[in-house]
């Protein structure tokens, strides 16, 4: 969901920042004094990376935000993973080998990795077994089953929406009293002796293996979840004392929630470090012994630390983007001379969404009223000035204006569909003359922060020529309130982050029975097409159904796509193998430091 950029704040940085005469932290974009660290010593065993927010949790089941997933993705493994270099995105083995599918396509069999490459939970006193505190223990099939069942516990803020309705008996098992239900539903069968996990599915689901690669569905040791329950200092909550089988483990020196120090998991298997071009000095994953992930008080503080050579990478935000990037390239002298600019698409879409149950603007059983409301929504959606949004909010650079809900990269390149024309209102009439809408005001909810205020201002100006007054409510919890019925805006801002790299993650929330239906939109035609979509194998046929679904949304106008953002990442030249996970962000475990690198012009852009 949408997250506001942090407020700029004045932070002392022990001499790294040259404060202005009035004691403020502001620096002119043209002032580069002390901003370069061309000859900074290349670190050998530890690097620092910034986080855009504090760490909410280190329990993967509760890690719904990108920052938490970035850290848990290094501490925990999933059943499957994404090939960091394949295009299109491709699944690869992680805890298990690639699954075997029966002829009916409703049974998945996972075989855990052979002993020589099997994953082990990092050493900890919570683990079962006499030597586990020193040697860790092997990940078992029953661990995978128990980790999936955690999400069916209503008391845990897990990823239930990823599993609901998919596995035979799981939904009914979830509804039973804890004291009377069996150990596992019939659709989940774990065999530790054979090292297999069998999932019986409610229907054909070609997307399920991709869902199981989601960082929120990571594998945890159940005895450690039980042991670390927060009852005393020796038993902190599991969210602050994570134990996993990933390439890194949490160092006790971590200052959560502000910072996490990751150190190599000593029992992780020696996985060869992939390299797509040139030789790397790191033979195995992970390539750096210690990683310090830290949230700074302001985006400006992080940028100054990057300029001074203290941190190895940074994604410049809205307020600082123009200071380091101009016309798609780095500004000379604004960053160390060896800085490299990386660009990658983020699998998300920002939307304006109508609340379709609203009596003034939503769907109606009366055909005449329904047609009138549909035209009203179309006029409002078409009025939004996405060109201005792109220039003001995205700096005219780090996002691509969207014309559809699903990012184009997830469908056939030729399968574009335009739901709304760009800025369709005639803006040549400053006096506001022209046809007015039969709606005096429109209730709009969004999050807090400067970017949200700018978005609201753009929307307010777009609706003014239509005679519609925008009533804005700022609330960081507005999406929860909309979903629970506590708040009833008529229009709100929504960002869909991909639950998995598949068109279904963007189209599912518009089905009638979706647990994540923020809009309340319901169409039997859409549901029928979606059922065909869910049963189809990946390929051109399924892409065609996705386009059909998009066009239904376009006719009914429940959404206005705004844009699909990009990540612009700046790194020092000595930081190699910079790869982005499609869901959790930077693949920290693949980073490698080039010890032979010398400061100089960036090798690539």
What distance in Å separates the CA atoms of residue 303 and residue 51, rounded to the nearest whole number? 12
Is the pLDDT at 603 greater than 70, yes or no? Answer: no
What distance in Å separates the CA atoms of residue 521 and residue 478, rounded to the nearest whole number? 18
What distance in Å separates the CA atoms of residue 305 and residue 29, rounded to the nearest whole number? 15
Question: Mean per-residue pLDDT for 93-119?
Answer: 92
The answer to whether the beta carbons of residues 563 and 399 sit under 8 Å apart is yes
Closest C-alpha to 509, from 500, 501, 497, 521 = 521
Is the pLDDT at 491 greater than 70, yes or no? Answer: yes
Please, which residues have CB within 8 angstroms of residue 78's CB and are 6 or more apart in sequence?
94, 95, 212, 213, 214, 215, 217, 218, 219
CB count in 10 Å sphere of residue 303: 26
**Using one digit for the tens of pLDDT, what is the confidence trace for 122-174?**
999 999 998 999 999 999 999 999 999 999 987 776 788 889 889 999 999 99
Cis peptide, bond prior to residue 287, ω within 30 of zero: no
Q: Which pTM was predicted?
A: 0.82
CA atoms within 13 A on the CB side of 387: 8
Question: Mean per-residue pLDDT for 286-310?
Answer: 93
**Using one digit for the tens of pLDDT, what is the confidence trace for 542-563?**
889 999 999 999 888 888 888 8
Query: From residue 206, how far is each of 101, 110, 201, 357 by CA, in Å?
Result: 10, 15, 11, 32
Residue appearing with tokens 């909010």: 393
Indicate the average pLDDT of the chain.
85
Is the pLDDT at 362 greater than 50, yes or no? Answer: yes
What single DSSP character describes residue 76? -
* pLDDT at res. 563: 84
Phi–psi pair at 355, nearest 5 degrees: -85, 105
Element (H, E) at 284: strand 284-285
> In terms of DSSP bridges, do strands 290-295 and 46-51 run parallel, antiparallel, or are they unpaired?
parallel
**Using one digit for the tens of pLDDT, what is the confidence trace for 496-531?**
888 888 888 889 889 998 877 899 999 999 999 998
Closest C-alpha to 94, from 177, 218, 11 = 218
* pLDDT at res. 496: 83
3-state secondary structure of 243: coil
What distance in Å separates the CA atoms of residue 54 and residue 239, rounded to the nearest whole number? 14
* pLDDT at res. 2: 30
* pLDDT at res. 276: 67
The answer to whether the beta carbons of residues 233 and 217 sit under 8 Å apart is no
Is the pLDDT at 604 greater than 60, yes or no? Answer: no
Domains of the chain: 348-424+438-565 (3.10.105.10)
* pLDDT at res. 157: 65
* pLDDT at res. 12: 25
């Amino acid at each position: 969901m949408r997250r506001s950029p942090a407020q700029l704040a004045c932070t002392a940085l022990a001499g790294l920042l040259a404060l202005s005469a009035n004691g403020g932290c502001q620096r002119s974009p043209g002032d580069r004094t002390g901003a370069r660290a061309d000859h900074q010593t290349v670190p050998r065993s530890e690097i620092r990376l910034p986080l855009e927010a504090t760490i909410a949790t280190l329990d993967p089941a509760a890690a719904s935000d990108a920052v938490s997933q970035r850290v848990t993705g290094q501490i925990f493994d999933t059943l499957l993973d994404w090939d960091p270099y394949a295009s299109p995105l491709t699944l690869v083995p992680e805890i298990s080998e690639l699954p075997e599918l029966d002829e009916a396509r409703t049974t998945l069999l996972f075989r855990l990795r052979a002993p020589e490459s099997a994953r082990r939970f990092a050493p900890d006193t919570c683990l079962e077994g006499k030597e586990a505190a020193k040697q860790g223990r092997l990940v078992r099939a029953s661990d995978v089953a128990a980790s999936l069942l955690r999400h069916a516990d209503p008391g845990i803020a897990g990823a239930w929406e990823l599993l609901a309705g998919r596995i035979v008996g799981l939904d009914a098992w979830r509804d039973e009293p804890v004291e009377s239900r069996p150990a596992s539903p019939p659709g989940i069968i774990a065999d530790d002796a054979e090292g297999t996990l069998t999932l019986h599915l409610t229907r054909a689901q070609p997307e399920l293996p991709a869902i199981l690669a989601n960082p929120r569905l990571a594998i945890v040791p159940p005895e450690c979840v039980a042991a670390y329950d927060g009852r005393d200092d020796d038993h902190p909550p599991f969210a602050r004392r994570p134990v996993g089988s990933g390439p890194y483990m949490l160092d006790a020196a971590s200052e959560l929630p502000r910072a996490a120090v990751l150190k190599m998991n000593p029992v992780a298997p020696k996985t060869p470090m992939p390299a797509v071009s040139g030789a790397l000095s790191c033979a195995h994953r992970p390539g750096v012994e210690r990683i310090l992930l830290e949230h700074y008080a302001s985006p400006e503080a992080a940028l100054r630390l990057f300029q001074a050579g203290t941190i190895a990478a940074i994604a410049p935000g809205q307020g600082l983007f123009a200071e380091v990037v101009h016309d798609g390239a780095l500004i000379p002298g604004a960053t160390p001379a060896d800085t490299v600019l990386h660009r990658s698409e983020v699998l998300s879409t920002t939307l304006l969404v109508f609340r379709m149950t609203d009596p003034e603007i939503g769907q109606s059983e009366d055909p005449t009223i329904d047609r009138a409301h549909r035209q009203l929504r179309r006029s409002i959606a078409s009025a939004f000035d996405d060109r201005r949004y792109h220039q003001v909010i995205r700096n005219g650079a780090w996002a691509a204006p969207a014309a559809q809900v699903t990012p184009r990269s997830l469908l056939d390149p030729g399968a574009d569909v335009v739901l709304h024309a760009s800025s369709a209102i005639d803006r040549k009439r400053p006096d506001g003359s022209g046809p007015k809408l039969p709606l005096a005001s429109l209730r709009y909810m969004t999050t807090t922060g400067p970017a949200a205020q700018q978005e609201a201002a753009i929307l307010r100006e777009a609706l003014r020529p239509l005679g519609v007054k925008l009533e804005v409510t700022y609330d960081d919890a507005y999406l929860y309130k909309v979903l629970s019925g506590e708040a009833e805006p008529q229009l709100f801002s929504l960002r869909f982050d991909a639950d998995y790299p598949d068109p279904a993650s963007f189209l599912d929330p518009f089905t009638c029975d979706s647990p994540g239906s923020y809009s309340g939109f319901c169409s039997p035609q859409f549901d029928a097409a979606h059922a065909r979509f869910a049963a189809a194998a990946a390929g051109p046929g399924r892409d065609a159904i996705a386009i059909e679904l998009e066009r239904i949304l376009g006719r009914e106008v429940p959404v206005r796509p705004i844009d699909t953002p990009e990540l612009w990442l700046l790194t020092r030249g000595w930081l190699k193998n910079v790869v982005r996970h499609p869901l959790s962000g930077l693949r920290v475990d693949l980073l490698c430091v080039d010890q032979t690198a010398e400061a100089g012009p960036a090798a690539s852009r």
